[in-house]
C-alpha cells in the first residue's frame, strides 16, 4: 500500500493539473446543494465538475500530493481530506450522493468490497452512488500491463463491479466505449447504485 501511495504521489507531482478527457458525470437525481463525496478525487477534475453542478462537494484521496493540488486549485469550491477510501473520517449517513470515478480499477476484490461497505455507511437512506472504472477491452487492457508506474490496474465488467457493491440496489449497469482519434477504444464500466 505504501509503495503504491508513493507511486501516486510521484504521478501527481509530475502532473499537477487535472486529467484530460471527460469530466462529465451523471446526475444522480440530487437537488442543488446536496452533499456529495468524490472518492479518489485525484487532482480535482470530478470535484470541479460536481461543484459546477451546484453540489456541496467533499473530496478524499490517499495521496497527500493530490489533495494538496485540489486544495490549491479548488479553494472555496470544495473541501478535501487525505484518507484511505476503505476507512473514511465521516459520520454515518453524511452524504446524499457519492461518486467514485476511476478508483475501483486500482482495488483488489477485498478492497472494493470494503469501499462498497464504507460508502453504504456514509450514504443517507435513498442516497445514490456512481462508479466508473476501466472495463475489459479498454486500450490499456493488455497482457503484462496490469502494473504501470508502480500503480495496479484491474479491468472489470459492470456486472463484476455490481457484485462487489451487492449491499446496494443496482439502478443501472453500462459499458461505454469511446473511440479515440488514434483508432483505439477507451472502454469503461459505469454503474449506478442506491442505498435502500
Cβ within 8 Å of residue 31, ≥6 positions away: none
Determine the 3-state secondary structure of 136 from DSSP. Answer: coil
* pTM for the whole structure: 0.93
Q: From first to last of its 196 residues, what are the pLDDT tens digits of the chain?
A: 688 888 888 888 887 665 555 578 999 999 999 999 999 999 899 999 999 999 999 999 999 999 999 999 999 999 999 999 999 999 999 999 999 999 999 999 999 999 999 999 999 999 999 999 999 999 989 877 688 888 899 999 999 999 999 999 999 999 999 999 999 999 999 999 999 9
Let me know how long the chain is: 196
Domain parsing of the chain, residue ranges: 2-12+30-194
β 95-101/151-152 pair status: unpaired
Question: Which residue in the block uniquely carries the three cell numbers 477504444?
Answer: 185
| CATH architecture of the region 2-12+30-194 | 3-Layer(aba) Sandwich (3.40)
Amino acid at each position: 500500500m505504501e509503495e503504491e501511495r508513493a507511486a501516486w504521489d510521484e504521478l501527481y507531482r509530475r502532473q499537477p493539473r487535472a486529467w484530460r478527457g471527460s469530466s462529465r458525470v451523471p446526475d444522480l437525481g440530487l437537488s442543488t446543494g446536496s452533499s456529495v463525496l468524490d472518492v479518489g478525487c485525484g487532482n480535482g477534475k470530478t470535484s470541479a465538475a460536481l461543484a459546477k453542478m451546484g453540489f456541496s462537494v467533499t473530496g478524499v484521496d490517499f495521496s497527500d500530493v493530490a489533495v494538496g493540488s485540489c486544495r490549491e486549485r479548488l479553494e472555496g469550491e470544495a473541501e478535501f481530506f487525505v484518507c484511505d477510501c476503505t476507512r473514511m473520517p465521516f459520520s454515518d449517513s453524511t452524504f446524499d450522493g457519492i461518486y467514485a470515478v476511476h478508483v475501483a480499477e486500482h482495488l483488489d476484490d477485498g478492497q472494493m468490497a470494503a469501499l462498497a461497505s464504507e460508502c453504504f455507511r456514509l450514504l443517507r437512506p435513498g442516497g445514490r452512488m456512481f462508479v466508473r472504472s476501466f472495463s475489459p477491452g479498454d486500450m490499456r487492457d493488455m497482457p503484462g500491463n496490469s502494473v504501470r508506474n508502480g500503480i495496479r490496474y484491474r479491468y472489470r465488467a459492470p456486472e463484476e463491479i455490481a457484485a462487489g457493491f451487492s449491499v446496494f440496489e443496482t439502478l443501472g449497469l453500462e459499458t461505454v466505449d469511446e473511440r479515440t482519434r488514434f483508432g483505439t477504444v477507451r472502454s469503461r464500466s459505469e454503474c449506478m447504485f442506491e442505498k435502500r
